[in-house]
Structure formats: structure tokens, C-alpha cells
Amino acid sequence: MSVIETRELGKRYGRLWALERCTITIPEGHFAALVGPNGAGKSTLLNLVVGLAAPSAGEVSVLGGAPAGSPVALDGIAFVAQDMPLYRHLSAADMIHLTRNLNQAFDDAHARHRLQDLAIAPTQKAGRLSGGQRAQLALTLALARHPRLLVLDEPTAALDPLARHDFMATVVTAMAEDGVSVLLSSHGLAELERVADYLILIAHGRVRLDGPVEELLGGHSLLTGPRDQPRDPRWRTIQDISAGAQSHLLVQASTGNSTPPGWEARAVSLEEMTMAYLREDARAARPTQGEMIR
């Protein structure tokens, strides 16, 4: 079953397409990482998935075919936004009470046990909690709904390293214990490398790369060789860094391709592969000197 499936999905604001021709399929049981530069269309895609926005083109379905924003979808998806939408003047217990009343299914005991384990007193006001505690409270409210899909929009962006680690550990534990699927938008590539097994990379409103991490990494290599060495035409060079007589290439090639004589190959990391694609897109978007003059 797919937890998210889109076909030619697009969202336009006026004349600007924030997202276009997005076609992805994310199977259940995965920790999917959504990465890309600011303004790439990540939040737009998340808003379409959870039903906070309506498509301008194409289709999006969730949880095995339910339309995004439908009652079935709303019951099965929990969403934690970057700004942690908590009422500052309400206590943790008040937030539990409010969330329980706004949802058909909510595990009150589960939420209270989690806050106890986190040493967050029920009487503490949300506005007086640390950044890490606020993130954990928002995550607790989401997980107490026992969702089938947990959608997270850069929830650790403002957290310190320890708070980020604890937050991610909670998400991974929820996957293992409750079988929840996860879609996380984040800029923390090194952090994602430890937990993500599925990747969607978006730039300029379009999907540039998507699929299981293991398959994507297996289709790329880092090559080092003489700068004037002939290059295999089967390679698609994503990044070329030449220094002196040496060339360092990150290439896309089938796993069966052998390394030509004169070149040395090594495996690529998720961070290296992702950064190479982001740099390629940044170069493609940069205006030429003639365009700047015009």
C-alpha cells in the first residue's frame, strides 16, 4: 500500500507555480525525507498531502487511495508544523484536553505517560517550555492519535543538537512500535542519513530525485581520475570538481557499469548525493551574464 501517491500534482499562486508535475509514490512503512532549498516547494507539497491546500493541477491520494483532506485521510494523518502550533497560555494538560476534543480518536493515557517520561509537568504552560519541550509536546499530541502517517515540516529547525536527537529518536521509536510511516521535511542531511530510507528531492517546484535511499545511492558513484581522461558516455555527471590535473566527479550510472581504467570509484553518501543535485540546480537557475545585462 502507498501512504502517499501523486500524479502530475501542481499548485499555483497567481502566475507562479510553487509545485508542478509532481509524481511520486511512497510505500507504507518508510521514513521518507523531503529535502530541497528554501522556496523549492516542500511545504506546498506537505500542505497538499495533509489537505491544507487544494491542487491547481493533478491528483494526490493518501493511505491507500483516500483523497487528501477527506475524513479518512484526516483521521489517519498527524501533522506537526515547524512553528509548533501550541497555545502559549494553555498548560500541557489543557493542550491534551483540547486535542482530545478536536479528534475522533485520541489516546489520553498515552499522551500523559509520554509527558511524564519527558518530565513535562501537566501544569506547565506551553509558552514557558523550552524549544525541545514544545517540540516534544507537539509530537506527543500527534502520536496520541495513533496515526498511520506522520507528516513533519522541519520540526527540529530551531532545536539544539540534543533536542533534535531526542525528537528524532521518538519518531523512530514510534515507527518501530506503532508501525507509523513518516514524511519529514528537513535541511539536516547528516541527521537524515541516519534514519531515512526513502528520499524525495525537490528544487524549483519539481521533483529531481525520488526513491528508496539504497537504490539511489547504488545508482551513483564518486569517481577520481586524470582531468583529461575520457569519460564513459553512460555516465551522467551531476557534479564536476576539477583541481589541477585531477577531476572528481559525482555521476549517475547503472550499478552494473564497471569503472573504466584510470578512474577510481567509491560509494557516495546521502549528503554528498543530495548536495551535488542541489548545486546542479543552483547552477542551472543562475542567470548568465547576458541575461543579467538585459
pLDDT classification of 283: cutoffs 50, 70, 90: low
Q: Could you give the count of Cα atoms lying within 13 Å of 195 in the half-sphere of its Cβ?
A: 28
Is the pLDDT at 291 greater than 70? The verdict is no
Q: What is the mean pLDDT of residues 96-101?
A: 92
Question: Using CA atoms, how far apart are residues 32 and 28, in angstroms rounded to an integer?
Answer: 10
Report the C-alpha gap between 68 and 220 in whole angstroms: 34
Q: Domain 2-214 is in which class?
A: alpha beta
Chain segment 256-269, per-residue pLDDT in tens = 567 777 788 889 99
Q: What is the mean pLDDT of residues 50-77?
A: 95
Q: With CA atoms as reference, report the closest residue to 20 among 261, 195, 202, 197.
A: 202
Instruction: Provide, rounded to the nearest whole percent, the portion of the chain with pLDDT above 90.
Output: 61
The pLDDT value recorded for residue 256 is 57
* Mean pLDDT computed over 7-31: 95
| Residue limits of CATH 3.40.50.300 in the chain | 2-214
